[in-house]
Amino acid sequence: MKKKFLFVCLVAAVSVAGFSQKVPTYLDDSKPIEQRVAAALAAMTLEEKVALCHAQSKFSSKGVPRLGIPELWMSDGPHGVRAELLYDEWSQANWNNDSCTAFPALTCLAASFNPDLAHLYGTAIGEEARYRNKSVLLGPGVNMYRTPLNGRNFEYMGEDPFLASRIAVPYIKGVQSIGVAACVKHFALNNQENWRMNVDVNLSDRALREIYLPAFKAAITEGKAWSLMGAYNKFRGQHCCHNDLLLNQILKKEWKFDGVVISDWGGTHNTQEAALNGLDLEMGTNTNGMTASIANSYNSYYLANPFLQELRSGKMDVSIVNDKASRILRLIFRTIMDRKRPFGSLATPEHAAVARKIAQEGIVLLKNDQQTLPISPSVKSIAVIGENATRSMTVGGGSSELKVKYEVSPLEGIKSRFGKTATIDYSLGYGSGKYQYDKVAPSPYDALKLRTEAVAKAAKAELVVFVGGLNKNSEQDCEGRDRVSYGLPFEQDLLLTEILKVNPHVVLVLISGNAVEMPWIKEVPAIVQAWYGGTESGNAIADILSGDINPSGKLPFTFPVKLEDNSAAAFGEIAYPGDAKTHKQEYKDDILIGYRWHDTKAIKPLFAFGHGLSYSSFQLSGFATSKPSYQAGDSIVVSVQVKNTGKYDGAQVVQVYASQTKSSVMRPKKELKAFQKVFLKPNEAKKVTIKIRTKDLAFFSESAKDWKLESGEFVLHIGTSSDNIVKSIPININ
Q: Domain ends where: 555, 570, 594?
A: 555
* Whether residue 260 sits in one domain with residue 163: yes
Q: Is 244 a catalytic residue?
A: no
Q: Please report the pLDDT score of residue 440 as a whole number.
A: 81
* Whether residue 543 sits in one domain with residue 456: yes
Q: Domain ends where: 555, 584, 601?
A: 555
Distance of CA 597 to the CA centre of its chain: 23
What is the CATH classification number for the domain harbouring 727? 2.60.40.10
Report yes or no on 474 lying in a domain. yes
Report yes or no on 579 lying in a domain. no
In the Cβ-directed half-sphere of 470, how many Cα atoms lie within 13 Å?
Answer: 31
Report yes or no on 444 lying in a domain. yes
Distance of CA 140 to the CA centre of its chain: 5
Measured CA to CA, the distance from residue 219 to residue 644 in angstroms comes to: 34
* Whether residue 104 sits in one domain with residue 253: yes
* Whether residue 280 sits in one domain with residue 379: no
Within the chain, which residues score under 70 in pLDDT?
1-20, 287-296
Using alpha carbons, select from 171, 161, 162 the residue that is nearest to residue 115.
Answer: 171
* Whether residue 314 sits in one domain with residue 374: no
Among residues 98, 160, 200, 264, which one is catalytic?
A: 264
* Whether residue 622 sits in one domain with residue 523: no
Q: What share of the chain is helix, strand, coil (3-state, %, to 5)?
A: 30, 20, 50
What is the CATH classification number for the domain harbouring 146? 3.20.20.300
Report yes or no on 341 lying in a domain. no
* Whether residue 380 sits in one domain with residue 329: no
* Whether residue 375 sits in one domain with residue 310: no
Find out whether 607 and 649 touch, Cβ atoms under 8 Å. no
Report yes or no on 433 lying in a domain. yes
Using alpha carbons, select from 431, 498, 426 the residue that is nearest to residue 471.
Answer: 431
* Whether residue 420 sits in one domain with residue 531: yes
Report yes or no on 417 lying in a domain. yes
Report yes or no on 593 lying in a domain. no
What is the CATH classification number for the domain harbouring 381? 3.40.50.1700
Measured CA to CA, the distance from residue 698 to residue 693 in angstroms comes to: 10
* Whether residue 46 sits in one domain with residue 165: yes
Q: Please report the pLDDT score of residue 291 as a whole number.
A: 54
* Whether residue 272 sits in one domain with residue 227: yes
Domain that holds residue 685: 618-733
Measured CA to CA, the distance from residue 390 to residue 3 in angstroms comes to: 76
The tally of domains found in the chain comes to 3
Measured CA to CA, the distance from residue 328 to residue 343 in angstroms comes to: 22
Q: How many CB atoms lie within 10 A of CB 378?
A: 8
* Whether residue 263 sits in one domain with residue 119: yes
Measured CA to CA, the distance from residue 451 to residue 453 in angstroms comes to: 6
Report yes or no on 603 lying in a domain. no
